Amino acid sequence: MLRWTITFIVIALIAGVLGFGGIAGASAGIAKILFFVFLVLFVISLITGRRRV
């Protein structure tokens, strides 16, 4: 999940440098959503992992 976030951030940066504002905005939005999903899943896995032990 984090790898996809980094991929979309890189796409957004390259598109922004080349002047493709729409693609850069969309990629940045997708990267932001994926990052927050990754954080939520990471916290859930930490909580459930501590309960099992």
Q: Which one, of 13, 9, 15, lies nearest residue 30 by Cα?
A: 9
Whole-number Å distance between alpha carbons of 18 and 41: 34
CA separation for the pair 53, 46 (Å, rounded): 11
Question: What is the model's pLDDT at position 36?
Answer: 92
pLDDT of residue 13: 87
Positions of the chain with pLDDT lower than 70, given as ranges: 1, 52-53
What pLDDT score was predicted for residue 53?
59
Residue spans of the domains in the chain: they are 2-52
Predicted pLDDT of residue 50: 78
Q: At residue 30, what is the residue type? A: I
